[in-house]
A and B are shown apart, each in its own frame.
Chain A
Amino acid sequence: ETGVTQSPTHLIKTRGQQVTLRCSSQSGHNTVSWYQQALGQGPQFIFQYYREEENGRGNFPPRFSGLQFPNYSSELNVNALELDDSALYLCASSRGGDVPHEQFFGPGTRLTVL
């Protein structure tokens, strides 16, 4: 069983640029959630996709957007990058359709905005 994978591992961008982060969910999972983790803090929920539709969103501005593809992989797009967007971005997959007690996290993408 392949786990959750994310790419790239690390990324450096400058303020104002746009970035796309990618996530492949675990086999058999149709739900993907994205989280932002600033240094020294717990992860903060950005949004979730279930069967290619957004299924809930946290307190993040519209410049954070996402997609989920028919194979249930997902992208997180961030426009007009700001210095505070520097963080570890985590995706997590889970099975939809039943109570999703367990979410499986990827290793994250470390984004640095200069």
Chain B
Amino acid sequence: DAKTTQPNSMESNEEEPVHLPCNHSTISGTDYIHWYRQLPSQGPEYVIHGLTSNVNNRMASLAIAEDRKSSTLILHRATLRDAAVYYCILRDFSGGSNYKLTFGKGTLLTVNP
């Protein structure tokens, strides 16, 4: 799996937007960009995924650079509940059996009240 690079930690204030960056300069044309997050004492949870176009869902937005070598997860209004480790993961399904998530260390997001 292609590698991603994320900052170790970021800090935000409650009710402000948060932009979590991810670099993936070796991304291939068939790699999807996935984001998961892990709240304290819980298993990871899916946040969002995209291939080429920007994506929005109820949890967040995903902005993908035109060359796809970087992406940004956007939390529009951070809450205390958003404090978690955020993982950016590339997955290639072209072989028909990409079954695993390859986690790095992720970004620890701290949200201040």
Q: Does A102 contact B (CB under 8 A)?
A: yes
CB distance from A57 to the nearest CB of B (A): 9
Q: A41-B105, A42-B105, A99-B93 are in contact. Are A105 and B100 (CB under 8 A)?
A: no
A31 in contact with B99 (CB, 8 Å): yes
In the assembled complex, the Cα of A2 lies from the Cα of B17 at a distance in Å of: 32
A103 in contact with B101 (CB, 8 Å): yes
A42 in contact with B103 (CB, 8 Å): yes
The range of chain B's interface size is: 20 to 34
B100 in contact with A101 (CB, 8 Å): no
Segment 82-113 of B: residues with Cβ below 8 Å from A: 85, 87, 91, 93, 97, 99-106
Query: Which residues of B sit under 8 angstroms from A42, Cβ to Cβ?
Result: 85, 87, 103-106
Q: A31-B99, A48-B100, A56-B100 are in contact. Are A103 and B105 (CB under 8 A)?
A: no
In the assembled complex, the Cα of A33 lies from the Cα of B91 at a distance in Å of: 15
Q: In the complex, which of the residues B32, B41, B44, B49 contacts A43, with contact meaning CB atoms closer than 8 Å?
A: B44
Query: Which residues of A sit under 8 angstroms from B93, Cβ to Cβ?
Result: 99
Q: Does A18 contact B (CB under 8 A)?
A: no
Segment 13-52 of A: residues with Cβ below 8 Å from B: 31, 33, 35, 40-45, 48, 50
B99 in contact with A102 (CB, 8 Å): no
B42 in contact with A103 (CB, 8 Å): no
B42 in contact with A107 (CB, 8 Å): yes
* Chain B 30-70 near chain A by CB (<8 Å), digits 1 or 0: 00101000000111111001000000000000000000000
Which residues on A are within 8 Å of B, measured CB to CB?
4, 31, 33, 35, 40-45, 48, 50, 55-56, 58, 90, 92, 99-108
* Further 19 A-B residue pairs, CB within 8 A, beyond A101-B91, A103-B101: A33-B99, A33-B100, A35-B103, A42-B85, A42-B87, A42-B103, A42-B106, A43-B101, A45-B100, A48-B100, A56-B99, A58-B100, A90-B43, A92-B44, A99-B93, A101-B46, A101-B49, A107-B43, A108-B42
